[in-house]
Amino acid sequence: MKGEAAGKAAASSSSSSPSRYESQKRRDWNTFLQYLKNHKPPLTLSRCSGAHVIEFLKYLDQFGKTKVHVAACPFFGVPNPPAQCTCPLRQAWGSLDSLIGRLRAAFEEIGGGVPESNPLAAKAVRIYLKEVRETQAKARGIPHGKKNGNGLIQQPRKLKTPMMEKVPEEVVVLL
Ligand SMILES: [Zn+2]
C-alpha cells in the first residue's frame, strides 16, 4: 500500500458515477490516509488511535470557513454579527460530524478494518465532537437542539405562536 491510494483515484474515476456520498467517502478516506502518512512519526491504520483522529480534525480547522467567536469577542453568542472580527475560522461541527461518519464507514469498507478497532468510532472522538458542537453553538448564539435549516434564519415567514421561539434545551442531536 505505497502511493496508489492517495494520488489520482479521487479526481478522475467517475466513470460509473457512484453516488456523491460514495465518492466523497473515498476522497475523505484518501485524505485521512495521506494525513497518517505525513504524520511524524508516520502512522499506520493499526496504530491510529482516537487521539490521532482528534489531531486530524484539529488539523482540518485551518481549512475551515466557519467563524467561531472566542468568549472575549463582542460578537460571542450573536447569531448574525453586524461587523467583522478577528476570531478564527474553524470547520463547522456539522461538517466534522458527517466527515467522521463517512470515515468510520470507510475504515471498514475500504480499509478492511474491524469495528472493534475502529479509531474513528472511539469514545474520545465522540466526546471531542460533542465539545465542538457545544462551543460552536454558544459562540454563535444558536441553541443546541436547533439543527435543521440551512442557516437561513433571517425571516420566519409565519410565526404562528410565540411559543415557537422556545427551543427546549434538552433536545438531543443524534450523532
Ligand atoms: Zn469574533
Look at residue 10 and tell me if it is in a domain. no
Determine the 3-state secondary structure of 67 from DSSP.
strand
More confident call, 56 vs 141: 56
Look at residue 163 and tell me if it is in a domain. no
User: Per the structure, how many domains does the chain have?
Assistant: 1
pLDDT, tens digit, for every residue of 15-24?
A: 556 799 999 9
Task: Read off the C-alpha cell for 72.
Answer: 472575549
pLDDT score, position 171 = 43
Asked whether the beta carbons of 78 and 66 are under 8 A apart, the reply is no
Look at residue 161 and tell me if it is in a domain. no
pLDDT score, position 18 = 77
Distance (angstroms) between ligand 1 centre and the Cα of 107 equals 36
Distance (angstroms) between ligand 1 centre and the Cα of 122 equals 32
Distance (angstroms) between ligand 1 centre and the Cα of 98 equals 25
Look at residue 175 and tell me if it is in a domain. no
Determine the 3-state secondary structure of 95 from DSSP.
helix
> Which one-letter DSSP state was computed for residue 7?
T
Distance (angstroms) between ligand 1 centre and the Cα of 86 equals 6
Which residue, 175, 4, 6, is CA-closest to 104? 175
Domain that holds residue 73: 17-141
Compute the distance between CA of residue 39 and CA of residue 78 in angstroms, rounded to an integer: 37
- State yes or no: pLDDT of 91 exceeds 80: yes
Distance (angstroms) between ligand 1 centre and the Cα of 48 equals 34
pLDDT score, position 16 = 58
Look at residue 84 and tell me if it is in a domain. yes
Distance (angstroms) between ligand 1 centre and the Cα of 60 equals 20
Look at residue 55 and tell me if it is in a domain. yes
Rg of the chain, C-alpha, whole Å: 19
Look at residue 92 and tell me if it is in a domain. yes
Distance (angstroms) between ligand 1 centre and the Cα of 74 equals 7
For helices 93-109 and 50-60, angle between their N-to-C axes, nearest 10 degrees: 130
Distance (angstroms) between ligand 1 centre and the Cα of 172 equals 26
Distance (angstroms) between ligand 1 centre and the Cα of 143 equals 18
Distance (angstroms) between ligand 1 centre and the Cα of 171 equals 27
Look at residue 149 and tell me if it is in a domain. no
| Chain mean pLDDT for the chain | 81
* pTM of the predicted protein model: 0.70
Determine the 3-state secondary structure of 39 from DSSP.
coil
pLDDT, tens digit, for every residue of 104-142?
A: 999 999 999 999 999 999 999 999 999 999 999 999 875
Distance (angstroms) between ligand 1 centre and the Cα of 45 equals 37
State phi, psi for 59 to the nearest 5 degrees: -60, -35
pLDDT, tens digit, for every residue of 70-79?
A: 999 999 999 8
